[in-house]
């Protein structure tokens, strides 16, 4: 019996999808070449050479196309029945649903099935009608305009906003396909700021998608996501992402982190590992401060409801400066120094206690040492972040503003 599969290189993206079905008619050389050419466009792969084909006298035609990030094989049977099999293997992420739907439509298949053999496998799919992909294997960092529209409409239909304000905040489980709206925003900001693509986003967050939760701001008028914030819990086998990176880049161990900050035995159950707050450039000028306040407060009051006591995160220089300006009581995690990380020339490991945030920001707003030019900005932000002015009614989830409290957001029935 062969040994159980072990992913020896989780940091390297390998995605493999096999799609098989019954075509409406026999598949010949020209159809295979055309299909593989269009498949390159559908998956957004860079083609290195035109598709090549070969015919077997026993079975039928086969073809192959070479991409910069691997390629795809195609096999067509005429005997003992009309049948095709497509095997796609790449080092660049693609959307299985798009490939399956395209293949079904191209060959007018009467029946189609698919299986994902990626490094994060999803269950075998027996498909009829439109495709449903298991959420655990379909974390997507780039959505087409059509998918953005489809998922946005679905979210706003399934959880219709209870207010007329254009901007509302949702909380989405990372296993929910709707959370890809937040990942799309996250990737857009990472690409804009650091040049990160889908593969690099997967290298950073891929192992933590199933323990992630997203706070997502939707513009219900434009029907588009406009801001996102990721929260992560520890994985049983890997621990916290930020603490793994801390040890990798600074040598600080989990034991040293606990000792430095004097953490209790159940600290891991009471800790939130924050990802970067993401607001795309086109939304910052008009609503940047409001979006940031909405997302930060959403994370804070949800953490209060869940009884969280500790925050950890890895912040780039710009975000770190913003925290300092606003008076967020973050300290260097275990006394670490900034370092270069994933395109950022200066990133800092930070630690904070959520119970201290509201009071610290009130003190910052009133402190004599605070630059008078900043006070109007701080006063507006404190009103929003600390007191929820103009924000709390937009939340589409339960939250609390003090430990043990609860404010329930009842969703309308649609």
Q: Give pLDDT tens digits for 257-309.
A: 999 999 999 999 999 999 989 999 999 888 888 999 999 999 999 999 999 99
In a domain, 401, yes or no: no
Contact (CB, 8 A) for 178 and 406: no
Same domain (yes/no): 176, 62: no
Residue where one domain finishes, among candidates 84, 117, 136: 136
Average pLDDT, the chain: 87
What mean pLDDT comes out for the span 36-43?
89
The tokens 């192959």 sit on which residue? 64
Pairing verdict, β 310-316 and 271-274: parallel
In a domain, 406, yes or no: no
Same domain (yes/no): 171, 306: yes
Same domain (yes/no): 52, 179: no
Same domain (yes/no): 258, 377: yes
* Rounded CA separation 347/339 (Å): 5
CATH assignment at residue 47 = 3.60.90.10
Same domain (yes/no): 211, 348: yes
CATH assignment at residue 217 = 3.40.630.30
In a domain, 8, yes or no: no
Half-sphere exposure of 294 (CA within 13 A, CB side): 30
Same domain (yes/no): 190, 79: no
In a domain, 297, yes or no: yes
Same domain (yes/no): 175, 226: yes
Is the pLDDT at 16 greater than 70? The verdict is: yes
In a domain, 400, yes or no: no
Same domain (yes/no): 273, 339: yes
Beta-carbon contacts of residue 4 (< 8 Å; ≥ 6 apart): none
Asked whether the whole model's pTM tops 0.75, one would answer no
pLDDT at position 407 is 66
Q: Per the structure, how many domains does the chain have?
A: 2
Tokens found for residue 212: 């992630």
In a domain, 200, yes or no: yes
In a domain, 276, yes or no: yes
Same domain (yes/no): 247, 387: yes
Instruction: Please give the residue range of the domain that contains residue 61.
Output: 15-136
Same domain (yes/no): 99, 246: no
Q: Give pLDDT tens digits for 153-203.
A: 999 999 999 899 999 999 999 988 899 999 999 999 999 988 888 888 888
Same domain (yes/no): 103, 160: no
More confidently predicted of 139 and 17: 17
Order of strands across the sheet that contains 15-22: 52-55, 61-67, 70-77, 83-90, 15-22, 111-116, 125-127
What mean pLDDT comes out for the span 132-145?
65
Residue where one domain finishes, among candidates 136, 155, 187: 136
Same domain (yes/no): 85, 173: no
Half-sphere exposure of 7 (CA within 13 A, CB side): 14
What mean pLDDT comes out for the span 204-215?
90
Residue 180: how many other CB atoms lie within 10 Å = 26
In a domain, 166, yes or no: yes
Q: Give pLDDT tens digits for 310-331.
A: 999 999 888 888 898 888 999 9
Q: Give pLDDT tens digits for 57-84.
A: 877 899 999 998 899 999 999 888 999 9
pLDDT at position 1 is 62
């Amino acid at each position: 019996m062969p040994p159980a599969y072990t992913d020896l290189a989780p940091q390297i993206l390998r995605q493999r999808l096999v799609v098989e079905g019954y075509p409406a008619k026999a598949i010949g050389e020209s159809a295979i070449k055309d299909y593989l050419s269009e498949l390159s466009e559908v998956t957004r792969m860079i083609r290195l050479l035109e598709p090549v084909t070969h015919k077997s006298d026993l079975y039928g035609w086969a073809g192959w196309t070479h991409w910069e990030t691997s390629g795809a094989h195609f096999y067509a049977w005429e005997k003992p029945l009309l049948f095709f099999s497509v095997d796609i293997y790449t080092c660049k992420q693609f959307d299985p649903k798009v490939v399956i739907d395209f293949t079904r439509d191209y060959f007018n298949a009467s029946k189609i099935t698919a299986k994902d053999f990626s490094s994060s496998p999803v269950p075998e799919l027996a498909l009829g009608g439109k495709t449903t992909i298991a959420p655990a294997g379909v974390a997507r960092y780039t959505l087409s305009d059509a998918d953005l529209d489809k998922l946005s409409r679905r979210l706003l239909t399934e959880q219709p906003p209870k207010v007329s304000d254009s901007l509302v905040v949702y909380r989405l489980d990372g296993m929910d396909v709707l959370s890809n709206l937040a990942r799309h925003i996250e990737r857009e900001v990472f690409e804009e700021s650091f040049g990160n693509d889908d593969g690099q986003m997967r290298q950073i967050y891929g192992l933590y998608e199933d323990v992630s939760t997203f706070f997502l701001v939707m513009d219900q008028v434009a029907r588009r996501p406009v801001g996102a914030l990721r929260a992560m819990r520890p994985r049983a086998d890997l621990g916290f992402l930020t603490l793994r990176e801390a040890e990798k880049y600074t040598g600080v161990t989990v034991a040293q982190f606990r000792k430095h900050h004097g953490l209790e035995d159940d600290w891991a159950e009471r800790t939130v590992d924050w990802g970067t707050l993401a607001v795309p450039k086109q939304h910052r000028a008009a609503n940047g401060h409001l979006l940031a306040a909405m997302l930060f407060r959403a994370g804070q009051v949800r953490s209060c409801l869940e009884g969280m006591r500790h925050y950890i995160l890895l912040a780039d220089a710009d975000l770190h400066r913003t925290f300092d300006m606003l008076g967020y009581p973050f300290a260097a995690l275990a006394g670490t120094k900034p370092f270069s990380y994933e395109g950022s020339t200066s990133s800092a490991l930070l630690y904070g206690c959520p119970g201290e945030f509201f009071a610290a920001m009130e003190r910052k707003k009133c402190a004599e040492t605070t630059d008078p030019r900043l006070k109007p900005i701080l006063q507006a932000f404190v009103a929003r972040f600390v007191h929820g002015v103009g924000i709390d009614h937009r939340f589409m989830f339960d939250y609390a503003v003090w430990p043990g409290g609860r404010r329930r957001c009842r969703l309308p029935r649609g």
